[in-house]
A = this chain, B = another copy of it.
Amino acid sequence: MTNYSAPIRDMKFAMQELAGMEEVIRLPGYEEVSNELVDQVLEGAGTFAAEVWGPLNVPGDTEGLKWHEDGSVTTPKGFIEAYGKFVESGWNGLRFDPEYGGQGLPKLVDTAVMEMWNASNMAFSMAPLLTQGAIEAVFLRGSDEQKQRFLHKMVSGEWTGTMNLTEPQAGSDLGLIRTKAVPEGEHFRIHGQKIFISFGEHDLTENIVHLVLARTPTAPEGVRGISLFVVPKFLVNDDGSLGARNDVRCVSIEHKMGIHASPTAVLAFGDGPGAIGYLIGEENRGLEYMFIMMNEARFGVGVQGLGVAERAYQQALANAKERVQGKDATAPKGPSVPIIRHPDVRRMLMSMKSRVEAMRALAYVVAAMFDQAHRAGDEAARSAAHAGVDLLIPILKGWCTETGIEVASTGIQVHGGMGFIEETGAAQHLRDARITTIYEGTTGIQANDLIGRKVLRDGGRSMQALLAQIDGVCAQLEAGDDAQLHAIGARLREGSKSLADSMRWILATGGQDLNAVLAGAVPFLHLCGVVCGGWQMARAALAAQRKLAADSGDADFYRAKIATARFFADQDLSRARGLAEATMHAGASTMALGEDQF
């Protein structure tokens, strides 16, 4: 296999031309951030990803993890050293508050760096992803005392964090959680079993800070009776040193299709006297707190889809340039050629490249919206950005992960027979990517969230605002006399119209036939994904054309942006009408069969 190389040029294009980096670094609180600093961060992270995490990706997959009878877990060879360097170099705290040792960089910059960790080594990237979720929880809802006790070491990465939601009977439906939390003085005693806990046990750090959903004895049933607790593997003394081992134990780890180097633990809390846990915020508001963090976590998984797709693309591209097979179809008497010359291989590479660029653009635009939502000077701007984030998160999570799987699968296909051989490295990307449409809420859950909370609840207002932005881009594409931009504009216009039609149908139908609307939810999410991706690709084409018109150099790069946007428009955006049909007509047959007719 090939090693990873961070596509910094493309990343900077998306950050600067599409995500509004200039505005982001001028936001209050980012006074120390300059373009030069961002460049240094990207270069440094790119080098670190290429040299430290990238080379461990295949060995980590092959060797996997070892669980021991004493409940400990051994990570693959090299992971302890690599993680140590990661902490030492300060990569974990990039976007966190300097008060706790973070570097206070914009989420936009952090997102580009997260893409690199995911692309170079998705299994490893689960450690910082989960840690960051746990940091958010403590930071946003923890007491000052809890923050002081836990955050410094979590922000540095010296301790990792976990999110303990799922139980065997409680997956997508957290209302079924049974883990108990019994008050005992200042703390609680936690008893219960949690499953699917990523990095729930490992040997990378001396402590692990578990965030755990559980019920207190007086809690009401269902989702309104869930509280959030911080349960460290080792208790933490007042001076910050480690105290006693807490009563939480890893009883097994899962044997998974992919991300073999990411331990997925079954954790038993309270097999003995009960694990000591500290309530975060108020009792019975745990699920609400989880939902605050959920946007960040879902965003992070969307970036995984992007990262693994970029990695699969690099691998396939290298193979297509090297592998000599078959003649040029237009010169059948000529020599055998590298397979990149064959139109269908080229189509696959363009498909991978255009989708990666569309996902990246959308992810970075949403990252910049997070920054605006948190930092913008005036309330209206913050609130508009917040609404944009809320609307786009399920689309980003659902579409980037579904697309990441497709791109990884296309990567195998480019390799032909060698793609199916594990040593080639292409298959791992599909095996790794396959989890991303499931965890942090399946694609179905994202689609229900999109339709229920993001479209029906506000009567389509946020979506209307998005469509207005998209239509503005259409108008720009149609305004000039560039045939490429016109062609892209026609597809985007058709996509926008398909989306508007579907939204109107959802609004009209949701009240009368909720099942029909929910049956079309995933096609609708895909529709939103291709239209949003096409929107960003169209913006990229416009930006590239401006650069070309201004003769600002590197014409090949900008011309490629336009051709890639055109490809996305013809190959992916062209699906929009069909997806709208699938959305609006799903109700006619989806629920038609009785359960015994299956």
| A592 partner residues in chain B, CB cutoff 8 A | 563, 566-567
Cβ–Cβ contact A591 & B346, under 8 A = yes
Does A40 have its Cβ within 8 Å of any Cβ on chain B?
no
Cβ–Cβ contact A171 & B416, under 8 A = yes
| A171 partner residues in chain B, CB cutoff 8 A | 325, 416-417
Does A532 have its Cβ within 8 Å of any Cβ on chain B?
no
Given the interface pairs A176-B325, A434-B412, the reply to whether A598 lies near B349 with Cβ below 8 Å is: yes
Does A166 have its Cβ within 8 Å of any Cβ on chain B?
yes
Cβ–Cβ contact B420 & A257, under 8 A = yes
Q: Which of A298-353 contact B (CB under 8 A)?
A: 317, 321, 324-327, 329-330, 336, 340, 342-350, 353
Chain A residues touching B, majority SS: helix
Does A560 have its Cβ within 8 Å of any Cβ on chain B?
yes
Cβ–Cβ contact A589 & B419, under 8 A = no
| A443 partner residues in chain B, CB cutoff 8 A | 413
Residue from B257, B327, B342, B427 in contact with A422 in the complex, judged by beta carbons closer than 8 Å: B257
Name the residue of chain B whose CB is nearest to the CB of A519: B343
Residue from B257, B329, B348 in contact with A518 in the complex, judged by beta carbons closer than 8 Å: B329
Interchain CA distance A254-B419 in the complex, whole Å: 12
Interchain CA distance A78-B447 in the complex, whole Å: 44
Interchain CA distance A330-B511 in the complex, whole Å: 11
Cβ–Cβ contact B417 & A353, under 8 A = no
Known: A255-B422, A559-B597. 18 other contacts (CB 8 A): A171-B417, A172-B326, A173-B327, A176-B336, A321-B598, A329-B448, A329-B514, A343-B519, A343-B586, A344-B444, A346-B591, A347-B522, A420-B434, A420-B438, A570-B582, A570-B585, A574-B582, A574-B585
Which residues of A approach B to under 8 Å, CB–CB? 166, 169-173, 175-176, 195-196, 254-258, 317, 321, 324-327, 329-330, 336, 340, 342-350, 353, 405, 409, 412-413, 416-417, 419-423, 427, 430-431, 434-435, 437-439, 442-444, 447-448, 487, 514-516, 518-519, 521-523, 556-557, 559-560, 563-564, 566-567, 570-571, 574-578, 581-582, 585-586, 588-598
